[in-house]
Amino acid sequence: MRISIFGLGYVGCVSLGCLAQNGNNIIGVDIETVKVDLINQGKPTIIEKDIDDILAAQHALGRIRATSDAFDAVANSEVSIICVGTPSGPEGHLNLEYIYKTAAQIGEVLKQKKEFHVVALRSTVLPGTNMKVGEIIEQTSGKQRNVDFSVVSNPEFLREGTAVADYYNPPYTVIGSDNDQAISIMKEIYSPVAGTVEIVDIKVAELIKYINNSYHALKVVFANEVGSVCKKLGINSHEVMRLFCLDTKLNLSPYYFKPGFAYGGSCLPKDLKALQTLAHDYYLNVPVINSIEASNNISKNSLLDLVIKKGKRKVVSWESVLRPVLTIFAIVLLSM
């Protein structure tokens, strides 16, 4: 397939090399001429294991080239993958300036293009960006979304340092789309890549990267807080976390991962409180462990607000109904 890649930084450079290695013809685009020149010499714009050899080989085969001319790239490709940067602004908001500029550039070219074109958003962007990119392309091209072109969300999960290996072995390939033609084109592109292809709603595809990365950050922080408790008690924290990870039934599993109501019962609140108190007694600062209960209370209160809003005076709590029934059942069983 003929593919153009906008942004030749980390994600763009790896995608360019790996997609070419899979037999595609790639045109890279960047506003930095130094990056364009490097690709045109068959050299990477980043330092990353294996990428030098891949680019040298694909350059020799004539499968890769780069330009700073968006017209050349879009006119000579069926799919444009956007990998431009999305840095944080001064107040932490996402700066989507480069994404929207790229969308306008692609739209300008599509004005003159007859064939159906797929635009894939590979950069990490917040929900709603896909729709906005589609609107920009419609305005600049005068063409219609899902008739003349389509915008799909296709987040990247690679990690710097293992980027090439991660490209070929992602946890899954996510395609957020509302168009069957675009889905089949994207599926073909990723057919040589390991793992399942997950076709999902566009906003799900846009959000998942943020959820994944926030959870990864939470894992690191949680393990470090466990580490500080262990250190104070003279316990081997690596041994504790090894055992923790061995439990793939409740710890590292889909269990407890369905959004819904707060946790309750007797054990979770009691044992969490005990760990919090232990840390407090040792003057340990464990803000993540300490904030779990507060977050749980927010879930409880939001349910209470919902019940109050309904204005009903009689409310049944299933736990209060089920517990006495189960207790009586157990007493009957024991006395038999």
Ligand X SMILES: NC(=O)c1ccc[n+]([C@@H]2O[C@H](COP(=O)([O-])OP(=O)(O)OC[C@H]3O[C@@H](n4cnc5c(N)ncnc54)[C@H](O)[C@@H]3O)[C@@H](O)[C@H]2O)c1
Chain residues that interact with ligand X, rule: CB under 6 A:
6-12, 29-32, 35, 83-86, 98, 101-102, 123-124, 156, 158-160
Alpha carbons 100 and 154: distance in angstroms, whole number? 17
Give the nearest distance from C-beta 99 to ligand X in angstroms: 8
Give the nearest distance from C-beta 62 to ligand X in angstroms: 22
Give the nearest distance from C-beta 282 to ligand X in angstroms: 37
Bridge partners of 153, per DSSP, are 121, 176
- In SS3 terms, the chain reads as CEEEEECCCHHHHHHHHHHHHCCCEEEEECCCHHHHHHHHCCCCCCCCCCHHHHHHHHHHCCCEEEECCHHHHHHCCCEEEECCCCCECCCCCECCHHHHHHHHHHHHHHCCCCCCEEEEECCCCCCCHHHHHHHHHHHHHCCCECCCEEEEECCCCCCCCCHHHHHHCCCCEEEECCCHHHHHHHHHHCCCCCCCEEEECHHHHHHHHHHHHHHHHHHHHHHHHHHHHHHHHCCCHHHHHHHHHHCCCCCCCCCCCCCCCCCCCCHHHHHHHHHHHHHHHCCCCCHHHHHHHHHHHHHHHHHHHHHHHHCCCCCCCHHHHHHHHHHHHHHHHHHC
Give the nearest distance from C-beta 154 to ligand X in angstroms: 11
Alpha carbons 297 and 60: distance in angstroms, whole number? 61
Give the nearest distance from C-beta 15 to ligand X in angstroms: 9
Q: Residues 13, 230, 245, 267: which is the catalytic one?
A: 267
Q: Which is nearer to ligand X, 84 or 279 (CB)?
A: 84
Asked if 167 and 193 touch (Cβ cutoff 8 Å), the reply is: yes
Give the nearest distance from C-beta 216 to ligand X in angstroms: 12
Q: Which is nearer to ligand X, 30 or 138 (CB)?
A: 30
Q: Which is nearer to ligand X, 204 or 268 (CB)?
A: 204
**Is 267 annotated in the active site?**
yes
Q: Which is nearer to ligand X, 156 or 225 (CB)?
A: 156
Q: Residues with catalytic annotation?
A: 267
